[in-house]
A and B are shown apart, each in its own frame.
Chain A
Amino acid sequence: MAVVSLLAAFLCGMLSGCRQTTARRLDFNADVQPILASRCFSCHGPDPEMRKANLRLDLAESALRKRQHRPDAIVPGHPEKSELVKRIESTDPHYLMPQVAHGDAKPMSAGEIAKLKAWIKEGAVYRPHWSFEAPVRPAVPVSKTDGAWVKTPIDNFILTKMEQARLHPSPEADRAALIRRVTLDLTGLLPTPEEVAAFGNDTSPNAYEHLVDGLLARPTFGEQRARCWLDYARYADTYGLHYDNSRDIWPYREYVIRSFNANKPFDQFAMEQIAGDLLPMKNLDPLIGSGYVRLGVSSNEGGTIPEELLVNIARERTEAFGATFMGLTVGCAVCHDHKFDPTTQHDFYALSAFFNNIDEKPFNDDRPVWTPVVRIPKATNQTAYNDVLAQRSDLQSKLNEMRRNSRSLVSQWIASGKNPPRPVSASGLAIRLRLDEGSGEELKNSAPNANPATFHTSTLKGEWGETTWLWPDFRMQSSTRVLMGNSGDYEANHAFSSGGWFMFRSAPFHPGSFGTLISKMDSTQHERGWELSAEDGFLSVALVNQAPKEPILGKQEEKAAKKGEKGRKEQQAKETFNYPSPQDLSKRDLAPNKPPEQKKAEEDAAKKDKAEERAKKKPPPEEPPKDKTPRVAISVVSLTPLSLDGAWKHIFFTYDGSGRASGIQIFVNGRALATQILSDNLAGATIRTQAPMQLGWRNPEEHPAKDARYQDVRLYDRALDPDEVERLPFEDYAAEIASRPASQWTTDQWHVMSEFYLNHVDPSYQAIEREIVSLDKQLDRLSAGGNLTQVSWEKPSLAYAHVLTRGVYTARTERVEADTPHFLPGLPPGEPHNRLGLAKWTVSPANPLTARVAVNRMWYELFGTGIVETTEDFGIMGQRPTHPELLDWLAVEFRESGWNIKHMYKLMVMSAAYRQSAKSTSRQLAEDPRNLLLSHGPRFRMDAEMLRDIALQTSGLLGERIGGPSVKPYQPPNIWEQVSYPTSDTLHYVQDHGDALYRRSMYTYVKRMASPPSMDTFDAPVRDVVCTRRQRTDTPLQALITMDDVQWVEAARALAQRVIHEAGPNPNRRINRMSEILLAHDAPPQMAAALESSLQQMQDHYAKDPKAAHSLVEVGEKKRDAAIPASELAAWTMVASEMLNLDETINK
């Protein structure tokens, strides 16, 4: 890439030279904006933080406006009056522009100054950036010369451009070269000599078109396209961070191959990947495709902070989406408004919000199954499965439709006056902490006649607004205290109730934090008081006179509980999943893969170390003496644990003042839980204590519910009816909202009303949901034993994100709703602000980028350089298209063809431009050294995968199977081991054997933290981030691979065997056969002579050294043909290796 840009200056100079001779008006986008962008925008561009002198030159309205007390920057028509011109022409170093950060000016060149002056003279007309205006199909130009050369409209564009530069197209490549090129481009493999011959002999006028059609229909076409797409989608087999464990997502790769082979329209292909989970489904493809969103790196590092991970994940996906579909470097706006493009920070985070609402944990638990996942039915059940899936999809569409229309449904409901939400009486409400303050250390008690009216957080203030539930939430930090004085100071003969909304925060290796939720209990006074707490998911309430100093659910209760029907110990809170993740995922599904077998020596060493350690270990310190305080209390505990799913839960208890355990009831989400009694011997003893009532702790600093989130915490000094408790989670708040006119409702409040309406008011929604649940069971059953793959699944919540100052995850400022960048067309009307809306927007006709970006990448794949060279950046700092009209023509053609991918590839390879001979003349090299004007055909080194694939193909080793899990072919030892975490499941590379060694390279396992070295060396990207343009380096390390890698040596030997069999004993014919196989033509005399002379020397050598010959021909696991004498085979192996290493072989 770097080498490539090095020469751009030269070419640009040449092109602009041409323009000047035609003396046409300047084109803002082509001539002026690049200068302004590179020279001025860093201080006078979109980023307000960096803006100097309050002057902004990227927008006409600000650049041309009158400025008070300052000279006018640009006066249209009058360069001499424009301050900009005075500044760039100044000789005073303090006045001269542009200045750079560290003081010295970097004056513009005379050419740049001349252009800017001419542009101002012409009226200083601004135009929107070229790629932000929707493409319009331009008229196909008519060339003045060489018209006969033209074969497709593409060629008219190419030819006119060449004419301007006074270059001429090259003749068509010979048939052999043509079939080799087009077969490589469309299938990633070489044509067989038979195919070459057949094409050579086909005299029909549309022989080439037949050839192309045939190639497009081959399944290897899908593989070749998918191979490229996997770079654009950042596909890999591991998570990429810390343990870098394996992930289950290879079915996505199959999906991509399948999609290309079925010629799935690109708009559908794109929509499935962005939002397949929200599309109607007849089979699982859309869902599998939605794995695209989740392909990025992800972490489970022990110390990571979940909120930081969440922000990183959304950011990664946003940057990937920007690169894959928009061709924009949106990530530049993570920290500040983009310096050059109009992408603001607000734009970036609004875009990131689309990816911030997936039903997943932010950490992957180091297991291959990072839910949501889907289980793909085996072939035998596929039809039955798809039937059920389609039914489910229909029902889901109905629900989605209701959700989409929920505002009008809610309005109708409210207007009808039927079933209005009923509030819970505020009678006896002593404390209501809504915790919606959003900032600060003061918590308002919004109970009527609240006394006191506020509480203060102490030690460390809470964290506000990390997530949204009813409203942006409140989280207790590890040492936040909320002390509520003598509130809740009741005797056991007094009825009271308390609880609220809670969310237990979980982090890698900490499935949930549990402890005291609300208490007025004094651990310095034998735990006197009352408390609501959770332990391993079991909720308990206790009113205590005295108790031993142990958690409320201490050993004694455990014993008591074990006497019950089921021991609680055995019963652990089960992880529950939402669709599409199967409900019956087994423990094995959910466990991290074990590291593969350790090497014996290492194992022994570790064992020895452990033994030594054990020997050294001191006896554990004696436990402190047990507290013998007898327990006097009433307490109950739930029979079943809460699931540890990180969801918000409304937890509440009521107590009737009876002094008996039976007077306590615990509710979750408004429903009473079955409980068992742990103690019931209070017998009128006091529970009153001086300790303050607290959130999250037992006085003074015991039994914390670490880092839990809270909303709407209440204390009533009465026992609420079950009916009232049922209304607490939503209905009470809904009633409050409904008491005000809908016009005043916030988006969050609308959301609460919709949720309440759908889940509690409208019976049809609930009925459909029940139907869906039963279908899900069938789906689980029908997919039993199938492969799992990670997918996206949208949560019902609103998609929000926060603008983060400098991208720091804790520095939240504005909360923004999911939306598209302001400088591009908005979401199509009526579309929801979620990924489905984004998907539709991406492929909408109004979107100026998607089609251009996609056709440009196709062009890049075939011609080696995009029409926009910076395939990843269509923004202001990206390269301008070499053929802007052609790009727009292709983009419109693509869209209007129904996003027909095969049509576009065919169109391009049918062009005369593509079919040209790759030979270059010295004039072409001098005038257009990088062949940007395409005066000759493309010629460049093949990509890593293609090189290995053709070595396997030509030697007859290549397997033809398509798809399947990744394979581990040959790799030098100790690549993974020396970088991996010792317990990683990708610590040891366990090489496969047999057919797996010879599959196409796109199936080679990609471990992100140690990618396959033979691919990496040939510039295959690591897949940490999206790569839309590979580097094309040429290094000695590459030569070492093609000369020495077992895979290549084995291929050379197999190729030698092949020609020995196919060409008979004549050395000449064998050499010629190799040339036919690898180069698609006969060996020219000089080549044949060189190889023959080399063969002679090799034969002499290996005849004298049979041991060496034997060693060489035994390389690799495929058995050699023992019928061929080793020395003969060795000599031919070296000749084959020579041929495999030819420049001509490794170039397309």
Chain B
Amino acid sequence: MKQHPLCTDCENPATPLDLPIPAALKQQWASVETRRRFLGRSGKVLGWAALAALFGQTGLRSYADGEEATSGEAPNRTSLPHFAPKAKRAIYLFMSGGPPQMDLFDYKPQLASQFDKDMPDSIRGNQQLTGMTAGQARFPVAPPHWPFGQHGETGAWVSDLLPYTARMVDDLTIIKTLNTDAINHEPAIMLMNTGNMNAGKPCLGAWLAYGLGSMNDNLPTFIVLQTKTNPKENNQPVSSRLWSSGFLSSEFAGVGLRSGADPVLYLADPAGVDRNVRREMLDTVEQINRQTLADVGDPEINSRIAQYEMAFRMQSSVPELVDLTREPQSTWDLYGLEARQPGTFAYNCLLARRMAERGVRFTQIYKRGWDVHGDVVGTLPILCGETDRGAYALVTDLKRRGLLDDTLVIWAGEFGRTVYSQGGLTKDNYGRDHHPRCFTAWMAGGGVRPGITYGQTDEYSYNVVKDPVHVRDFNATILHCLGIDHNQFTYKFQGLDQKLTSPVPASVVQGLLA
């Protein structure tokens, strides 16, 4: 793969002196700063892994162990990544609302004969249902409305609703037995993203930003993209706590990249301020700040100078990122013309590829609307139409560019849906309630085994019968692909070694790995 000029990651770890700051300033840093001070500040730009590697056993550790809080001496240093990563970056296509697994991937041909028959009580057991269907007197089976077909060399079954996804099944690792603890959106989407149903914990992207740092001096480490909502769909909300840094420093939180004039909030200079004026302003501010530094001796001032410079660079690098005018025709052939329209899923997928090239560590694209309590027949084709091609194009594009080998692509929602119908069931329509016990996700690229379908559910796509993958296991596996041992990747907060996969033990799903 050819290195994109804006991606500053390379096999040789960067040094703090590679920071894009004036040479004179670097000299000044070296003289004023203690080494510790210096490290503490530059880590956010370089990533703790790089720093740890740089400074070896000097007694300074990455954020990741942090037991210094109570013991006087430094314990063993944990270096990140813990082992050679298969993936350097990840792109997470988050299907918020809970896609119905039995309509898309979890093929159950025998359901056709069960139309409107009651799902046996034994299948449901003593499950506490949501308030929306708990009162239903009956739980009639709603077989999927659309036919399935076998695809690729591996012969994976995929619904006809996903013709593009069907083309790439040989690249996918399809997991049918993902399962979660929560039956409602708020807790489930939190659990999926942060490993905990309650607010306050860092999300996967923040953990990665904190642990692995940036591969780019001009763009945020962790970027979140929202897909435009479609009023025909039931758009469950998302919130900034899904990309928050929780108890980690807030610099690791996801930065929203927005469609429109200001791709990053407050990025654009105000009306009447051009680049020269901005440069002049920054030079003056820096000059005075350096004087203040000399006067007061507060080393934080160095950091402030560097952050202003980074802000200035972002003002150019972000517009460059979202400028699609130089994309070749082949891009539009692959992604479709929808990708020209900011805010569409296809557009976001294209941006995700451009960010991968430029060294963004983690990109998460939210697509809302999968909460199909009613009118599955009416809405599901719309949802699939919006997302199928973009996801396919992204994986294919990454593959063509040689980026798929070290990029992990993930497609998942927060839970699945019930095989029984919520509300009325007719031949042409049905609804599906939330279902935590099994749902389907897929991964592709760095670290995972392509062309497999993992796990097995019962004939009602209701219970896992073989190879369950809990959300925590799923997250442990994602971290593994990125070179991180989820058990060692901890941060001391409130006296505990907090981790993405706590508190119940989780394990990497070996069967998913390449």
**Bound-state Cα–Cα, A213 to B81, Å:** 55
**Stretch of B5-13, B247-255, B472-480 with 4 or more beta carbons under 8 angstroms from chain A:** B247-255
**17 CB < 8 A contacts A-B:** A2-B66, A2-B248, A9-B72, A12-B68, A242-B237, A303-B433, A329-B494, A460-B121, A507-B131, A979-B226, A981-B235, A1009-B241, A1022-B241, A1036-B310, A1043-B278, A1101-B280, A1111-B271
Are B186 and A299 closer than 8 Å at their CB atoms? yes
Chain A residue nearest to B218 in the complex (CB) = A1036
- Does A106 touch B at the CB level, under 8 Å? yes
**Bound-state Cα–Cα, A1110 to B271, Å:** 9
Are A5 and B36 closer than 8 Å at their CB atoms? no
**A103-136 Cβ-contact flags toward B at 8 Å (1 or 0):** 0001001111000000000000000000000000
Which of B199, B237, B268: most chain A CB closer than 10 A? Answer: B237
**Stretch of A31-39, A389-397, A493-501 with 4 or more beta carbons under 8 angstroms from chain B:** A31-39
Within 8 A of B (CB), among A898-932: 918-922, 925-926, 929
- Does B24 touch A at the CB level, under 8 Å? no
Residues in chain B near residue A459, CB distance under 8 A: 121
Contact among A507, A701, A1043 with B311 in the assembled complex (CB-CB below 8 Å): A1043
Contact among B75, B240, B247 with A109 in the assembled complex (CB-CB below 8 Å): B75
Are B495 and A1087 closer than 8 Å at their CB atoms? no
**A870-897 Cβ-contact flags toward B at 8 Å (1 or 0):** 1011011111100000000000000000
Are A876 and B495 closer than 8 Å at their CB atoms? yes
**Stretch of A551-559, A731-739, A1011-1019 with 4 or more beta carbons under 8 angstroms from chain B:** A1011-1019
Residues in chain B near residue A876, CB distance under 8 A: 495
Are B267 and A305 closer than 8 Å at their CB atoms? no
**B254-274 Cβ-contact flags toward A at 8 Å (1 or 0):** 010010101011111111111
Residues in chain A near residue B239, CB distance under 8 A: 244, 979, 1008-1010
**How many Å from the CB of A397 to the closest CB on chain B?**
38
**How many Å from the CB of A1001 to the closest CB on chain B?**
16
Contact among B264, B267, B277 with A1098 in the assembled complex (CB-CB below 8 Å): B277
Task: Knowing A297-B199, A339-B496 are in contact, say whether A35-B240 is a contact too (CB < 8 A).
Answer: no
**How many Å from the CB of A342 to the closest CB on chain B?**
13
Chain A residue nearest to B315 in the complex (CB) = A1040
Contact among B185, B237, B247, B433 with A984 in the assembled complex (CB-CB below 8 Å): B237
Which of B75, B270, B298, B303: most chain A CB closer than 10 A? Answer: B270
Are B266 and A1037 closer than 8 Å at their CB atoms? yes
Are B135 and A305 closer than 8 Å at their CB atoms? no
Chain A residue nearest to B129 in the complex (CB) = A478
B binding-site residues for A, Cβ under 8 Å: 32, 34, 36-37, 39-41, 43-44, 59-61, 63, 66-76, 121, 126, 128-132, 134-137, 183-186, 198-200, 226, 229, 231-232, 235-241, 244, 247-251, 255, 258, 260, 262, 264-274, 276-278, 280-281, 283-285, 287-289, 291-293, 295-301, 303-305, 307-308, 310-311, 314-315, 426, 433-434, 487-488, 491-492, 494-496, 503-504
Are B298 and A1086 closer than 8 Å at their CB atoms? no
| For the complex of A and B, 6 pairs with smallest distance between CB atoms | A877-B495, A1112-B272, A303-B130, A1009-B239, A9-B68, A1111-B272
Residues in chain B near residue A981, CB distance under 8 A: 235-237
**Bound-state Cα–Cα, A1113 to B270, Å:** 10
Are B131 and A112 closer than 8 Å at their CB atoms? no
- Does A266 touch B at the CB level, under 8 Å? no
**Bound-state Cα–Cα, A5 to B248, Å:** 12
Residues in chain A near residue B137, CB distance under 8 A: 701, 704
Which of B134, B274, B504: most chain A CB closer than 10 A? Answer: B134
Are B273 and A1112 closer than 8 Å at their CB atoms? yes
Are B308 and A1115 closer than 8 Å at their CB atoms? no
**How many Å from the CB of B115 to the closest CB on chain A?**
16
Residues in chain B near residue A879, CB distance under 8 A: 69-70
Other than the given A877-B69, A1035-B307, 12 more pairs (CB < 8 A) read A6-B40, A12-B68, A244-B237, A507-B131, A880-B70, A979-B226, A982-B229, A982-B235, A1033-B44, A1037-B264, A1044-B267, A1101-B276
Residues in chain A near residue B494, CB distance under 8 A: 329, 331-332, 872-873, 877
**Bound-state Cα–Cα, A1091 to B287, Å:** 10
**Bound-state Cα–Cα, A979 to B256, Å:** 11
Residues in chain B near residue A1044, CB distance under 8 A: 266-270
Task: Knowing A242-B186, A1033-B249 are in contact, say whether A920-B296 is a contact too (CB < 8 A).
Answer: yes
- Does A606 touch B at the CB level, under 8 Å? yes
**Bound-state Cα–Cα, A803 to B67, Å:** 31
Task: Knowing A301-B184, A303-B132, A510-B135 are in contact, say whether A6-B66 is a contact too (CB < 8 A).
Answer: yes
**Bound-state Cα–Cα, A1 to B244, Å:** 15
Within 8 A of B (CB), among A1044-1090: 1044-1046, 1049, 1084, 1086-1087, 1090
**Stretch of A156-164, A373-381, A1130-1138 with 4 or more beta carbons under 8 angstroms from chain B:** A1130-1138
| Chain A-chain B contacts (Cβ-Cβ < 8 Å), number | 358
**A354-398 Cβ-contact flags toward B at 8 Å (1 or 0):** 000000000000000000000000000000000000000000000
Are A1134 and B36 closer than 8 Å at their CB atoms? no
Which of B239, B287, B311: most chain A CB closer than 10 A? Answer: B239
**Bound-state Cα–Cα, A1037 to B250, Å:** 11
Residues in chain A near residue B63, CB distance under 8 A: 2, 6
**How many Å from the CB of B108 to the closest CB on chain A?**
24
Contact among B76, B131, B308, B311 with A508 in the assembled complex (CB-CB below 8 Å): B131
- Does A615 touch B at the CB level, under 8 Å? no
Are A112 and B241 closer than 8 Å at their CB atoms? no
Which of A706, A810, A972, A979: most chain B CB closer than 10 A? Answer: A979
**Bound-state Cα–Cα, A5 to B240, Å:** 26
- Does A673 touch B at the CB level, under 8 Å? no
Task: Knowing A510-B135, A1040-B311 are in contact, say whether A1090-B248 is a contact too (CB < 8 A).
Answer: no
Task: Knowing A241-B186, A305-B128 are in contact, say whether A706-B135 is a contact too (CB < 8 A).
Answer: yes
Contact among B249, B284, B496 with A1094 in the assembled complex (CB-CB below 8 Å): B284
Chain B residue nearest to A1095 in the complex (CB) = B284
* Consensus secondary structure, chain B interface: loop
- Does A974 touch B at the CB level, under 8 Å? yes
Residues in chain B near residue A767, CB distance under 8 A: none
Chain A residue nearest to B274 in the complex (CB) = A1108
**Bound-state Cα–Cα, A1019 to B76, Å:** 31
Are A606 and B495 closer than 8 Å at their CB atoms? no
Are B34 and A925 closer than 8 Å at their CB atoms? yes
- Does A99 touch B at the CB level, under 8 Å? no
**How many Å from the CB of A171 to the closest CB on chain B?**
14
Within 8 A of B (CB), among A950-999: 972-974, 978-982, 984
Contact among A241, A919, A1019, A1024 with B296 in the assembled complex (CB-CB below 8 Å): A919
- Does A414 touch B at the CB level, under 8 Å? no
Chain A residue nearest to B503 in the complex (CB) = A335
Contact among A704, A972, A1109 with B266 in the assembled complex (CB-CB below 8 Å): A972
Task: Knowing A37-B70, A1044-B266, A1143-B289 are in contact, say whether A918-B134 is a contact too (CB < 8 A).
Answer: no
Contact among B129, B199, B237, B307 with A1038 in the assembled complex (CB-CB below 8 Å): B307
- Does A745 touch B at the CB level, under 8 Å? no
Are A1115 and B231 closer than 8 Å at their CB atoms? no
Residues in chain B near residue A241, CB distance under 8 A: 186
Residues in chain B near residue A1037, CB distance under 8 A: 255, 264-266, 311
- Does A13 touch B at the CB level, under 8 Å? yes
Residues in chain B near residue A982, CB distance under 8 A: 229, 231, 235
Are A242 and B249 closer than 8 Å at their CB atoms? no
**Bound-state Cα–Cα, A39 to B298, Å:** 35
Residues in chain A near residue B300, CB distance under 8 A: 940-941, 1034, 1143
Are A111 and B73 closer than 8 Å at their CB atoms? yes
Task: Knowing A305-B130, A981-B235, A1041-B266 are in contact, say whether A1025-B304 is a contact too (CB < 8 A).
Answer: no
Residues in chain A near residue B73, CB distance under 8 A: 9, 13, 109-112
Residues in chain B near residue A9, CB distance under 8 A: 59, 68, 72-74
- Does A602 touch B at the CB level, under 8 Å? yes
Are B277 and A1134 closer than 8 Å at their CB atoms? yes
Contact among B76, B255, B434, B503 with A106 in the assembled complex (CB-CB below 8 Å): B76
Chain B residue nearest to A975 in the complex (CB) = B265
Chain B residue nearest to A1052 in the complex (CB) = B270
